């Protein structure tokens, strides 16, 4: 392979203000190629100077303005070679010696990696708590890339499991912000399906605690996903996975690059008979079939070595049968019919989530990095009732359609003022339009709630609303000493939705590294959290007075944004080269504490506020990596409480409202202890793997005064790696979910905003084959 050797030097002549860029060009044998053309491009891609090397390979460019440039070297028979050079006035000349390979792919990869580092630098983590899960961690887990994203995140500390794929991080209900390559992806309407496929992940960071001013809107945790790309080569995989509950799923991805263009595409199709957690202890629930499919694409194009434009898009389309509970007693009479087998109910729900992003990202190679993105997201959910059975059992059969379209812009900038100060600033604007269109069949009732006719009434309950979110932030990362860093800033958030409100929020975080093995962090953040606009409805409660859908009371104050003070302190200690441990404590004091509950037959959540809230806890985390053995253990203690419900009160009975008005109650998702652990052991081409979660049980009973029992779920797997002639490289895996077969409840159907019982998965076996090409 032929090499080019290029030496660039910068020379400053302070007296005259003239700045010169000079260098030499030679091949691998030290000879000067003929007719070498040298051109200079600025950060905007504009050619500002050009010249030709002499017979000895020397060149010189005069009167160059100080700045960072791309130097393009072209010669007949050689690939064009590009390097970045900084021309500085008033300083001693700086010699840059570079050996370049005759392979344009290498240059593209180097430029893409430079931009990746610049993009990562836009997102500070000073003072926050960060848990990182890599693609290798996911691939070595029992289910690998077929692990749903929520189950991947359950391996992080302080994450509690719940039904319908819900997660609760540090005592919050939902309130998670998802970012792809640094760009906010608005959350979909609550549902069962996972909108993002785990196989697209190169690395995912769960950022919690006292967040820097960069982060707002959703603050319980930042799920920061760095997606795979095609910058490092060409290839792909095909995966077939299936087993218990008639599970079959086929997935594929492909990646690659051609010159400055790179791409990554992934897709998955699957079905099974355990789409939603079973409402009974039967391991094979009735009427629980699901079909799910999703796709993702990422494309990027290097406009020049310092700038690229990228496009991301994704879709998830899921259909679910709602599982049945046999043996329920009919309550109402429909057209003379008062009998119905609840095992034959036919309720379904469908979900569609689409998003797309266009981003311009760049750097000047030195002080300034930026990313500007336009994003759009459309989400819809449709619940289809059983028109006969739902009326007989519930007195209500509601066909619910919810949709939401969100469009916005996000811009982030980093400017390195000097070696001590890095300034970051940004803004976000988002417009949302929500549509609610419900057709509700009900029976008329008397003042005592008794059915007065077996002929149902149909009531249309439809409304729509457009809302806006605005955010600005400015912060400074100050390296006080090489071992002590302070990040401080301000963030302003404004919402114009069902209510109008805003807040200026200070943030401060401190990281001290007294030794190479010890890191301490502490932080404070003021938070402003708007309610999920796609879930807040402007329904008229009085429409259903005198029917079987009449609310327990008529009060319906608007849902307000949560305001909170958040404190966090922690330490990470590397005990040995293989073992690292950490301890973190947090406390949140909130007004208008946000929570969500399922109050209707449709499995869609409704937000509401507690006037007062307090959440606190402590987390322990540890990880071990030694040769062919890896292991981790996380244990967390948490308390989440609220007092006095002050919005959407029509969802609650008078006795429960009165009790909560005068007592601190546990939130329905409060779980005292959560733990996760797992590990791998590799022997040759075989990997043994396990992961597990343990919980002390979510809340239950009147006003959440009860608690469900402890539960544990252990998954084990074996992965065999093959490399065979003709066939090539492929992996086979065998997985046992809930290996000890423990039957446990996630919910028992009681508690604030809990609609039905749900059981965790029982023992199941799966197998899969992944072919690499």
**Is the residue at 113 inside a domain?**
no
pLDDT digits (tens, 9 = 90+) for 308-335: 999 999 999 999 999 999 999 999 999 9
CA distance 184 to 410: 8
State whether 483 and 607 are in the same domain. Answer: yes
Q: Check if the beta carbon of residue 195 is closer than 8 Å to that of residue 314.
A: yes
Q: Check if the beta carbon of residue 226 is closer than 8 Å to that of residue 264.
A: no
Domain with residue 22: its CATH number is: 2.60.40.10
Most confident of 171-185, 491-505, 532-546: 491-505
Q: What is the DSSP letter of 467?
A: E
CA distance 642 to 109: 51
* Residue 284 banded pLDDT, cuts 50, 70, 90: confident
* Residue 99 banded pLDDT, cuts 50, 70, 90: very low
pLDDT at 94 over 60: no
Closest by CA to 685, choosing from 729, 620, 653, 635, is 729
Query: Would you list the DSSP string of 164-196?
Result: GG-EEETT-SS-EEEEETTEEE----S-SS-SS
**Is the residue at 314 inside a domain?**
yes
Res 3: pLDDT? 40
State whether 98 and 138 are in the same domain. Answer: no
**Is the residue at 447 inside a domain?**
yes
Helix and strand tally (H, E) in the chain?
5, 42
Domain with residue 416: its CATH number is: 2.40.170.20
pLDDT digits (tens, 9 = 90+) for 244-269: 999 999 999 999 999 899 999 999 99
The encoded tokens of residue 54 equal 């002499």
Q: What is the mean pLDDT of residues 593-608?
A: 82
Res 113: pLDDT? 65
pLDDT digits (tens, 9 = 90+) for 414-460: 999 999 999 999 999 999 999 999 999 999 999 888 999 999 999 99
Residue with token string 């028979």: 77
CA distance 405 to 355: 10
Our measurement of the distance from residue 256's CA atom to the centroid of its chain's CA atoms, rounded to an integer in Å, reads 24
Res 116: pLDDT? 67
Q: What is the mean pLDDT of residues 269-284?
A: 91
pLDDT at 566 over 90: yes
CA distance 439 to 462: 8
State whether 344 and 229 are in the same domain. Answer: yes
**Which helix (H) or strand (E) segment is 732 a member of?**
strand 728-737
Domain final position from 87, 102, 117: 102
Q: Which residues make Cβ contacts (< 8 Å) with residue 300, sequence separation at least 6?
A: 112, 229, 231, 261, 262, 263, 308, 309, 310, 311
Count CB neighbours of 691 within 10 A. Answer: 25
State whether 90 and 166 are in the same domain. Answer: no
- What average pLDDT does the chain have? 89
pLDDT at 147 over 60: yes
Q: What is the mean pLDDT of residues 278-288?
A: 90
Q: What is the mean pLDDT of residues 619-623?
A: 95
From 27-36, 318-327, 757-766, the region with the lowest mean pLDDT: 27-36
Q: What is the mean pLDDT of residues 535-551?
A: 84
Q: What is the mean pLDDT of residues 545-564?
A: 91
**Is the residue at 683 inside a domain?**
yes
State whether 165 and 55 are in the same domain. Answer: no
Domain final position from 102, 136, 171: 102
Query: Would you list the DSSP string of 307-347?
Result: EEEEEEEEEEEEEEEPPB-TTPPP---BTTB----GGG---
Q: Check if the beta carbon of residue 263 is closer than 8 Å to that of residue 228.
A: no
pLDDT at 108 over 70: no
Res 719: pLDDT? 97
Res 119: pLDDT? 63
Closest by CA to 593, choosing from 561, 619, 565, is 561
CA distance 265 to 235: 11
Residue with token string 């949709």: 403
pLDDT at 280 over 60: yes
Closest by CA to 199, choosing from 275, 131, 266, 293, is 266
Res 232: pLDDT? 75
The encoded tokens of residue 549 equal 């859908």
Closest by CA to 79, choosing from 94, 96, 100, is 100
State whether 153 and 203 are in the same domain. Answer: yes
**Is the residue at 75 inside a domain?**
yes
The three-class DSSP label of residue 568 is: strand
pLDDT at 16 over 60: no
Res 602: pLDDT? 65
* Residue 725 banded pLDDT, cuts 50, 70, 90: confident
State whether 37 and 142 are in the same domain. Answer: no
CA distance 400 to 349: 9
From 372-381, 508-517, 599-608, the region with the lowest mean pLDDT: 599-608
From 78-87, 105-114, 354-363, 633-642, the region with the lowest mean pLDDT: 105-114
Q: Which domain holds residue 413?
A: 128-772
Strands 167-169 and 159-161: antiparallel
Res 527: pLDDT? 97
CA distance 157 to 570: 13
State whether 279 and 171 are in the same domain. Answer: yes
Handedness of CA 104, 105, 110, 111 (dihedral sign): positive
Query: ∠ CA 770-196-130 to the nearest 5 degrees?
Result: 100
734 or 194: which leads in pLDDT = 734
Closest by CA to 368, choosing from 459, 306, 277, 287, is 306
Rg (CA), the chain: 29
Count CB neighbours of 402 within 10 A. Answer: 23
Res 5: pLDDT? 41
Length of the chain: 773
The encoded tokens of residue 60 equal 């010189």
Res 129: pLDDT? 87
Provide the CB-side half-sphere exposure for 423 (13 A, CA). Answer: 8
Res 70: pLDDT? 81
* Residue 750 banded pLDDT, cuts 50, 70, 90: very high
Q: Check if the beta carbon of residue 377 is closer than 8 Å to that of residue 430.
A: no
**Is the residue at 116 inside a domain?**
no
From 28-37, 384-393, 411-420, 663-672, the region with the lowest mean pLDDT: 28-37
The three-class DSSP label of residue 704 is: helix
State whether 467 and 531 are in the same domain. Answer: yes
Task: Render the burial of 326-363: b for 16+ CB within 10 Å, e for the rest.
Answer: eebebebebeeeeebebeebebbbbbbbbbbbebebbb
pLDDT at 120 over 70: no
**Is the residue at 62 inside a domain?**
yes
Q: Where are the beta strands (DSSP E) in 305-452?
A: 307-321, 348-363, 368-384, 396-416, 421-442
Count CB neighbours of 181 within 10 A. Answer: 24
pLDDT at 603 over 80: no
pLDDT digits (tens, 9 = 90+) for 174-190: 889 999 999 999 888 76
Res 17: pLDDT? 45
pLDDT digits (tens, 9 = 90+) for 711-721: 999 999 999 99
CA distance 166 to 408: 26
**Is the residue at 123 inside a domain?**
no
Number of domains in the chain: 2
Q: What is the mean pLDDT of residues 376-386?
A: 94
CA distance 431 to 533: 10
pLDDT at 630 over 90: yes
Res 114: pLDDT? 60
State whether 646 and 743 are in the same domain. Answer: yes
State whether 31 and 172 are in the same domain. Answer: no
Query: Would you list the DSSP string of 506-526?
Result: EEEEEEEEEETTEEEEEEEEE
pLDDT at 72 over 90: no
* Strand partners for 368: 415
Q: Alpha carbon of 95 to those of 7, 43, 76, 82: distances in Å?
A: 8, 21, 26, 17
pLDDT at 196 over 70: yes
From 117-131, 345-359, 499-513, 672-686, the region with the lowest mean pLDDT: 117-131
Helices marked H in 538-597: none
* Residue 86 banded pLDDT, cuts 50, 70, 90: confident
The three-class DSSP label of residue 366 is: coil
Q: Alpha carbon of 170 to those of 173, 207, 617, 636: distances in Å?
A: 9, 11, 7, 9
From 36-40, 289-293, 400-404, 416-420, the region with the lowest mean pLDDT: 36-40
State whether 442 and 402 are in the same domain. Answer: yes
């Amino acid at each position: 392979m032929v090499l080019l050797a290029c030496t660039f030097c910068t020379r400053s002549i302070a007296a005259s203000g003239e700045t010169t860029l000079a260098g030499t060009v030679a091949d691998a044998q030290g000879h000067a190629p003929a007719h070498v053309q040298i051109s200079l491009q600025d950060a905007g891609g504009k050619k500002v100077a050009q010249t030709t090397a002499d017979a000895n390979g020397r060149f010189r460019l005069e009167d160059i303005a100080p700045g960072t440039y791309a130097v393009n070297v072209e010669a007949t028979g050689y690939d064009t070679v590009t390097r970045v050079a900084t021309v500085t006035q008033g300083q001693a000349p700086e010699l840059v010696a570079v050996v370049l390979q005759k392979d344009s792919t290498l240059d593209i990869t180097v430029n893409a990696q430079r931009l990746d580092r610049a993009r990562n630098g836009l997102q500070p983590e000073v003072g926050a708590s960060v848990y990182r899960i890599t693609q290798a961690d996911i691939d070595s887990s029992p289910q690998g890339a077929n692990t749903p994203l929520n189950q991947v995140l359950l391996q992080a500390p302080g994450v509690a499991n719940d039904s319908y794929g819900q997660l609760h991080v540090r005592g919050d209900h939902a309130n998670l912000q998802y970012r792809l390559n640094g760009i906010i992806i608005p959350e979909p309407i609550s549902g069962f399906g996972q909108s993002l496929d785990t196989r697209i992940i190169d690395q995912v960071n769960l950022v919690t605690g006292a967040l820097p001013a960069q982060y707002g809107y959703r603050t319980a945790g930042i799920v920061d996903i760095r997606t795979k790309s095609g910058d490092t080569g060409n290839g792909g995989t095909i995966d077939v996975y299936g087993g218990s509950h008639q599970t079959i799923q086929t997935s594929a991805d492909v990646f690659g690059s051609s010159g400055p263009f790179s791409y990554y595409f992934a897709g998955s199709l699957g079905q099974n008979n355990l789409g939603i957690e079973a409402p009974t202890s039967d391991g094979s629930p009735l009427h629980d079939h699901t079909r799910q499919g999703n796709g993702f694409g990422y494309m990027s194009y290097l406009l020049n070595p310092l700038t690229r434009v990228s496009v991301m898009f994704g879709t998830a389309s899921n259909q679910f049968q709602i599982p049945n509970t046999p043996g329920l007693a009919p309550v109402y009479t429909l057209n003379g019919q008062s009998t119905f087998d609840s095992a034959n109910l036919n309720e379904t729900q469908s979900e569609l989530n689409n998003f797309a992003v266009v981003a311009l990202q760049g750097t000047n190679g030195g002080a300034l990095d930026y990313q500007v993105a336009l994003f759009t997201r459309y989400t819809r959910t449709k619940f289809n009732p059983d028109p006969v059975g739902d009326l007989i059992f519930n007195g209500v059969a509601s066909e619910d359609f919810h949709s939401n379209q969100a469009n916005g812009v996000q811009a982030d900038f980093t400017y390195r003022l000097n070696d001590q100060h890095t300034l970051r600033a940004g803004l976000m604007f988002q417009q949302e339009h929500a549509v609610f269109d419900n057709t509700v069949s009900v029976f008329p009732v008397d003042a005592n709630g008794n059915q007065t006719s077996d002929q149902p009434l149909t009531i249309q309950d439809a409304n729509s609303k457009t809302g806006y979110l605005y955010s600005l932030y400015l912060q400074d990362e100050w390296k006080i000493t090489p071992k002590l860093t302070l990040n401080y800033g301000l963030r302003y958030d404004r919402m114009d939705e069902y209510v109008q409100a805003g807040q200026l929020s200070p943030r401060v975080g401190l990281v001290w590294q007294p030794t190479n093995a010890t890191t301490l962090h502490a932080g404070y953040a003021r938070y402003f959290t708007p309610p999920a606009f796609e879930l807040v409805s402007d329904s008229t409660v009085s429409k259903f007075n005198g029917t079987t859908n009449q609310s327990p009371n008529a009060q319906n104050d608007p849902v307000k944004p949560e305001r909170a003070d958040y404190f966090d302190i922690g330490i990470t200690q590397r005990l040995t080269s293989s073992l690292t441990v950490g301890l973190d404590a947090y406390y949140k004091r909130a007004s208008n504490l946000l929570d969500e509950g399922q109050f209707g037959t449709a499995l869609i959540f409704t937000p509401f506020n507690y006037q007062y809230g307090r959440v606190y806890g402590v987390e322990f985390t540890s990880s071990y990596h030694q040769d062919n053995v890896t292991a981790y253990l996380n244990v967390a203690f948490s308390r989440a409480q609220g007092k006095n419900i002050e919005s959407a009160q029509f969802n609650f009975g008078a006795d429960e409202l009165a009790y909560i008005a005068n007592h601190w109650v546990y939130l329905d998702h409060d779980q005292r202890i959560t733990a996760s652990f797992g590990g791998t052991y590799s022997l040759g081409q075989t990997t043994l793997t396990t992961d597990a979660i343990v919980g002390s049980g979510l809340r239950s009973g009147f006003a959440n005064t009860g608690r469900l029992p402890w539960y544990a779920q252990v998954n084990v797997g074996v992965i065999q790696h093959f490399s065979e002639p003709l066939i090539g490289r492929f992996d086979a895996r065998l997985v046992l979910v809930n290996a000890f077969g423990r039957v446990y409840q996630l919910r028992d159907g009681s508690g604030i905003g809990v609609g039905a019982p749900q059981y965790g998965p029982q023992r199941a076996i799966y197998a899969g084959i992944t072919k690499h090409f």
